[in-house]
Structure 1
Amino acid sequence: MRKLINVICVTAGLMLSVSVANAQQKLGHINSEAILSVWGDWTKAATEINNLSNTKQQEIDKMMGEYQTKLKAAQDKEDSRSVSNQAQVNQELEKMGKELNDLQNRIQAAREKAQKDIETKQQELFSPLHTKIGNIIKTVAKEKGFAYVFDIAASQGFNNIIYSDGGEDLTAEIKSKLGISATATTAPAATKPAAGTTKPKN
């Protein structure tokens, strides 16, 4: 019986220690959307990515327009085929078919290259920014003695926090250390960071 009481006391002591330790752990949170949407370096990079994407899309659209024109010409040529010109038209259609196939391959190659170029540019522009904001978040957390900092941005699906009533909001301080004015307004939708690039890395 005494042994059982001792075990219960030890267990209770361990649970109390864990509770005290947890109580001493400070929790904080940030809203990455509120930071990134007004951070000049980030919105500038996002704008550059959007411009590159638009340029690539225009190039592909031009090729697609050329493809549609050639396809229509081939269809018209086929409609003009008769018994008297069948051999000649068939020869011309074969040539046009090869041109269409070649253009289709070039369009596919252009799409793949555009995707690769955009991903490379995203890595080039956003990687150092992720590192910068990640380091600042770590610095602020250490300065203020926080054990955990959660991101409560809607774009993250609120998946980094399950309860947001509590903790200290560090968003303003992160903005300050990034040199963002407290009165800065949200950037236009056109400069909104691309999906998958908004989450600060720590």
Structure 2
Amino acid sequence: MRKLINVFFVAAGLLFTANMASAQQKLGHINSEEVFANLPEAKTAQTTLETLGKQKQADIDAMIKEYQSKMAAAEAKQKTLSEANKETVGKELQAAGQELQDLEKRITDARTKASQDIGTKQGELFQPIQAKVATAISAVAKEKGLAYVFDIANGQGGNNLVFWDGGDDITASVKTKLGITATAAKPAAPKK
């Protein structure tokens, strides 16, 4: 009788394990680049970032132009250096050199600040958009009963998925959930 009970438990365990192994979880994939390419908020955010970048670059270019003009003036002043005006021109050149160093530091600081400002603005603009897309992806995945969704966009770390065969492409459903109706050219599909 004891052997029969042991055999029963072993058989029940094997049956339970076999049932768990055969229950497959559904997988899906999405091309986030396609979603963002068609999302009006993302286009607006990108335009805002480009405008900010151009403004910052114009400010830096103006400072560079000022630096170049002051450098040319200092070089011209140095050509007038003679034994007779050595003391006067020498002091002027020294002051110009200090001014050029200060301007060079301001340019470097402006570049650093511009980079930080653009990074901060990018976070401010894209964080809510990414949260909105993530919410839509979660909703579609739950509606379709998906356990995992992989991003097949090339820009996401050089393709997060090495191989996929089939699965549910939820890109269109997520775009619909976000109210996107325009269709842009699809990015290239990953190689299988």
Q: TM-score, normalised by structure 1?
A: 0.80
Aligned residues: 181
1:184 aligns with 2:183: yes
| Paired position in structure 2 for 1:130 | 130
CA RMSD of aligned residues (A): 2.5
Alignment match, 2:48: 48
State the one-letter code of the partner of 2:68: Q
State how far apart, in whole Å, the 2-side matches of 1:68 and 1:134 are: 48
Residue in 2 that maps onto 1:163: 163
Distance 1:115 1:157 in 2: 22
How far did 1:49 drift? 0.6
Query: How many angstroms apart in 2 are the aligned matches of 1:163 and 1:50?
Result: 35
AA aligned to 1:84 is: A
Assess, with a 3 A threshold, how the Cα gap between structure 1 residues 158 and 82 changes in structure 2: closer, same or farther.
Answer: closer
Residue 150 of structure 1 is matched in structure 2 by 150
Structure of larger gyration radius = 2
C-alpha spacing 1:42/1:63, structure 2 compared with 1 (3 Å) = same
Tell me, what secondary structure is at the counterpart of 1:150? strand
The offset of 1:84, in angstroms, is: 1.7
2:99 counterpart of 1:99: yes
Partner of 1:65: 65
Distance 1:18 1:158, change over 3 A: farther
Structure 2 residue identity aligned to 1:80: T
| 8 Å CA contact retained: 1:152, 1:161 | yes
SS state at 1:128 partner = helix
Check whether the contact 1:152–1:164 (CA below 8 A) recurs between aligned residues: no
Distance in 1, matches of 2:78 and 2:12, equals: 91
Shift of 1:39: 0.7
The correspondence of residues 21-40 of structure 1 with structure 2, limited to 5 A, is: 21=23, 23=24, 25-40=25-40
TM-score, normalised by the number of residues in structure 2:
0.84
Give 1:192's aligned residue: none
| Secondary structure of residue in 2 paired with 1:179 | coil
Structure 1, unmatched stretches of 5+, are 187-202
Q: Distance in 1 between matches of 2:150 and 2:105?
A: 46
**Alignment partners' CA distance in 1, 2:116 and 2:86:** 45
Matched, 1:87 2:75: no
Unaligned runs of 5+ in 2: 186-192
Q: Secondary structure at the match of 1:125?
A: helix
Task: Show CA shifts across 1:80-130 (max 9, x none).
Answer: 212122111101101101111121121122122212221221111111111
Separation of aligned partners in 1, 2:11 and 2:73: 90
Identity %: 45
Equivalent residue for 2:22, pick from 20, 23, 40 = 20
Tell me the secondary structure at the aligned position of residue 128 of structure 2. helix
Q: Using the alignment, how far apart are the partners of 1:165 and 1:98 within structure 2?
A: 66
Following superposition, the deviation at residue 148 of structure 1 comes to 0.4
Q: Deviations over 1:15-43 (max 9, x none)?
A: 6345313x2x0000000111111110111
Partner of 1:200: none
